[in-house]
Amino acid sequence: RQMLCLHGLLPPRVMSEEGQAERIMSGLRKRSSDLDRYTDLMDLLDRNEKLFYRVLCDHIQELMPIVYTPTVGRACQEYGHIFRRPKGLFITIHDLGHIESILANWPERDIKAICFTDGERILGLGDLGCDGMGIPVGKLALYTACAGIKPHNLLPVILDVGTDNEELLKDEYYIGLRQHRDRSANYDQLISEFIESVKLWFGPTTLLQFEDFGNRNAFRLLNEYRNKCCTFNDDIQGTASVALAGVYASLRLTKKKLCENTFLFQGAGEAAIGIAMLLVAAMKQEGVKEEDALKRIWLVDSKGLVVKDRTKGGIAGTHKIPFAHQHEYIETLKEAVEVLKPTCLIGEQLAVTISGGARAHSSQLFGRVQ
């Protein structure tokens, strides 16, 4: 302390990193809400990155729901109100033609992975615009805590093209562009310039993770860039890989082949379609023809069972069409289970139903699964 001219500037007691971490956890546990715990952790990340990751790694099971879902969703909803210090890069639709120079402003050059979003479909909360930055920040914190990737090799990015959330546009503390979403050709130009600038500035092997893009863009952008750069869409492909692993694990108990199952999905968004597509690919590896694999998968969306020539609500989005079979229209999931007799139910809303308290109804529903 004397050599560094710190004598008298610090308390007499020298506390180890372990002791500092336990003090942080003690304070977090005294907080009355998870949002307060999230804010405390982000403040810690700002002032002492090493201690932040020590706390997170030592208490990953307890803190993962704080750093990421479900608390990060609430944090994004309040992002402008709890904003302290910027994290990551903020690139707007007005930066077209200058994105490489913005990347050059980032102090690190050795970037291995980038998580980026346009904020249009943040978790199940909808369009949060620039306030969706909490998602890339939280996701990359888990890259370090769970996968051991060094923080300076990671970069969270928000592509701000505006928001159609009227409440945010009227919020005096909203941190993003105060305009409706730009859905012109400029949007695609922004994505293209961003990806090409990343490849030029950080290298072609830099991982680009699409996160929480809206349905209208997620599938087409993945198809556009999946063979042009090192990329994946977490909502479509990441969720699917975990779900397929769970299905494979269940086959050890049921003693069935994957292609001997009938899958029924509650929901037909990015996650559901991603899982369904990966199930088809997995069945094809078993030697099943694609058309036969598709017949094993059914979708129930907000309008009911997805079938060909559906008179009620039609079919929104081309990504559902391969799973629209010739069948009579069924309005509810319960009826679909009774008629189709699936062997596997998949869907986030099923978990929501159970956690929401309707356990008896859900038990009856699962009881009808073959």
What are the catalytic residues? 68, 139
**Whether 344 contacts 263, CB under 8 Å:** yes
For every residue of 40-63, which 3-state class applies, written as one string?
HHHHHHHHCHHHHHHHHHHCHHHH
Q: Is 356 helix (H, G, I), strand (E, B) or coil?
A: coil
End-to-end CA distance of the chain: 70
Report in angstroms the alpha-carbon separations of 97 from 156, 159, 196, 202, 328: 20, 14, 12, 18, 52
> What distance in Å separates the CA atoms of residue 107 and residue 245, rounded to the nearest whole number?
38
Q: What angle do CA 309, 315, 321 make, to 5 degrees?
A: 80
Tokens of 180: 């409706």
Question: What one-letter code names the amino acid at 296?
Answer: R
> What distance in Å separates the CA atoms of residue 247 and residue 268, rounded to the nearest whole number?
18
**Whether 184 contacts 92, CB under 8 Å:** no
Tokens of 18: 């372990």
Q: What is the DSSP string of 292-319?
A: HHHTTEEEEETTEE-BTT-SSS---SGG
Q: Is 154 helix (H, G, I), strand (E, B) or coil?
A: strand
β pairing state of 304-305 and 297-301:
antiparallel
Report phi then psi at 245, rounded to 5: -60, -40
